[in-house]
């Protein structure tokens, strides 16, 4: 049986659309869905519970995605297993495609769907930013930034050994070699972007901070120094060796130059991208200096239903 684990912290406004998409056109024997409401102060649990007995709701007091994922694992019943962010939308048919690809390709340990980013209603700098971001090689090829990752039982063992990191999806993606992971374009997920410039910068500050933590973790594994202290209640510190050699997913100037050579018309978007990157780098300095890798800067404009 396929299991779907959905960590949710105050996602009452949007989790219903995800659950409705997952439950549509599926038999009663469909995927096992576990929603882990972590530290919620809104009606997330009520909204999820209203979807009926096929959705099991688990409530924990700790507002921690990493803890929610581990608790979800304790309640999930089968494999392949999908981890899905509550603010994206992926349908039952797309889940079946991902499961089928994993089942039909024993060498694959992890898969993620193609990404659709609806930009209608977003401020023009946000639209310009994402037109560049979506074309970057690391973004196209990585499993991160999609809000959905499906793993086989062996793939699950790989990511279950990761320590708690803010960039959990990046760490999961980098835990697998190119031949072990696949972006399955036949399956789709809708990832709602921030609608305002300020929320985009908040999201990029979070990304810059979490990338710094992840790179510090990678370095610690390579040189044998202690792994950075966990930022959640989990005590797991063992890490798959595959992740130690994983390259950074940061965008460099060479990536932007190559993109401009291919698509010169993206120059305004590249300028916007660079400005956002500089703002994020500056905004993340204090958190990185203080090793604050637990403060989650969340954008609310992408959660307007």
Q: Is 257 exposed, middle or buried (0-12, 13-18, 19+ CB in 10 A)?
A: exposed
CA distances from residue 295 to 40, 63, 84, 220, 239 in whole angstroms, order as listed? 16, 11, 21, 22, 23
Per residue in 85-111, pLDDT tens? 999 999 999 999 999 999 999 999 999
- The answer to whether the Cα torsion of 214, 219, 221, 222 is positive or negative is positive
pLDDT at 238: 35
pLDDT at 98: 97
Report how far Cα 98 is from the mean position of its chain's Cα atoms: 16
Of residues 148 and 206, more confidently modeled:
148
Q: Final residue of a domain: which of 131, 157, 191?
A: 191
Mark residue 39 as left, alpha or beta (left: phi above 0; alpha: psi -120 to 50; beta: remaining).
left
Whether residue 136 is contained in a domain is answered as no
pLDDT at 224: 61
Q: Final residue of a domain: which of 153, 171, 191?
A: 191
- Both 244 and 279 in one domain: the answer is yes
Nearest to 181 by CA among 204, 152, 207, 139: 152
Do residues 126 and 197 touch, judged by C-beta distance below 8 A?
A: yes
- Both 97 and 246 in one domain: the answer is no
DSSP structure class, residue 51: T
Q: Quick one: which H or E segment has residue 221?
A: helix 197-223
Band of residue 244 on the pLDDT scale cut at 50, 70, 90: very low
Q: Is 59 exposed, middle or buried (0-12, 13-18, 19+ CB in 10 A)?
A: middle
- Both 92 and 241 in one domain: the answer is no
Of residues 68 and 237, more confidently modeled:
68
Whether residue 236 is contained in a domain is answered as yes
- Both 170 and 35 in one domain: the answer is yes
- Both 201 and 185 in one domain: the answer is no
- Percent of the chain at pLDDT exceeding 70: 90
- Both 148 and 203 in one domain: the answer is no
Task: Indicate if the pLDDT at residue 247 is higher than 60.
Answer: no
- The answer to whether the Cα torsion of 192, 197, 202, 206 is positive or negative is positive
Task: Indicate if the pLDDT at residue 305 is higher than 80.
Answer: no
pLDDT at 37: 98
Whether residue 235 is contained in a domain is answered as yes
Whether residue 277 is contained in a domain is answered as yes
Choice among 85-89, 192-196, 285-289 with the minimum mean pLDDT: 285-289
- Percent of the chain at pLDDT exceeding 90: 70
Average pLDDT over residues 32-59: 96
Choice among 162-171, 185-194, 253-262 with the minimum mean pLDDT: 162-171
Domain extent, residue 22, equals: 3-119+141-191
Of residues 173 and 164, more confidently modeled:
173
Whether residue 85 is contained in a domain is answered as yes
- Both 51 and 159 in one domain: the answer is yes
Average pLDDT over residues 294-299: 74
pLDDT at 242: 43
Whether residue 128 is contained in a domain is answered as no
Task: Look at the chain and report how many structural domains it folds into.
Answer: 2
- Both 224 and 175 in one domain: the answer is no
pTM exceeding the 0.85 threshold for the entire prediction: yes
pLDDT at 142: 94
Whether residue 126 is contained in a domain is answered as no
β-sheet bridge partners, residue 113: 184
- Both 77 and 8 in one domain: the answer is yes
Task: Indicate if the pLDDT at residue 263 is higher than 70.
Answer: yes
pLDDT at 221: 75
Q: Final residue of a domain: which of 191, 218, 253?
A: 191
> How many secondary structure helices (H) and strands (E) does the chain include?
12, 8
Which CATH number covers residue 156?
3.90.550.10
- The answer to whether the Cα torsion of 188, 189, 195, 199 is positive or negative is negative
Question: Which pair of structure tokens corresponds to residue 10?
Answer: 């105050």
- Both 111 and 55 in one domain: the answer is yes
Average pLDDT over residues 272-282: 95
- Both 185 and 212 in one domain: the answer is no
- Both 204 and 183 in one domain: the answer is no
Nearest to 244 by CA among 267, 221, 264, 223: 221
Whether residue 231 is contained in a domain is answered as yes
């Amino acid at each position: 049986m396929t299991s779907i684990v959905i960590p949710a912290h105050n996602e009452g406004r949007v989790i219903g659309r995800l659950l409705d998409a997952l439950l549509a056109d599926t038999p009663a024997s469909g995927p096992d869905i576990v929603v882990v409401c972590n530290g919620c102060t809104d009606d997330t649990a009520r909204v999820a519970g209203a979807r009926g007995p096929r959705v099991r709701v688990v409530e924990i007091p700790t507002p921690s995605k990493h803890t929610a994922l581990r608790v979800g694992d304790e309640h999930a019943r089968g494999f392949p297993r999908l981890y899905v962010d509550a603010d994206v939308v992926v349908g039952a048919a797309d889940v079946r495609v991902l499961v089928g690809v994993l089942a039909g390709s024993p060498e694959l340990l992890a898969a993620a769907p193609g990404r659709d980013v609806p930009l209608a209603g977003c401020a023009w700098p946000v639209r310009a930013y994402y037109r560049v971001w979506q074309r970057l090689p690391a973004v196209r090829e990585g499993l991160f930034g999609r809000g959905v990752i499906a793993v086989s039982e062996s793939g699950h063992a790989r990511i279950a050994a990761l320590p708690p990191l803010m960039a959990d999806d990046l760490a999961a993606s980098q835990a697998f070699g190119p031949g072990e992971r696949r972006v399955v374009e036949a399956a789709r997920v809708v990832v709602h972007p921030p609608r305002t410039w300020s929320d985009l910068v908040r999201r990029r500050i979070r990304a810059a901070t979490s990338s710094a933590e992840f790179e510090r973790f990678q370095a610690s594994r390579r040189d044998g120094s202690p792994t950075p202290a966990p930022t959640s209640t989990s005590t797991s510190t063992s890490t798959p060796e595959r992740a130690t050699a994983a390259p950074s997913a940061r965008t460099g100037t060479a990536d932007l130059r190559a993109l401009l050579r291919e698509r010169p018309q993206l120059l305004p978007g590249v300028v916007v991208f660079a400005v956002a990157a500089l703002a994020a780098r500056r905004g993340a300095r204090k958190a990185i200096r203080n090793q604050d890798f637990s403060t989650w800067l969340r954008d609310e404009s992408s959660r307007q239903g």
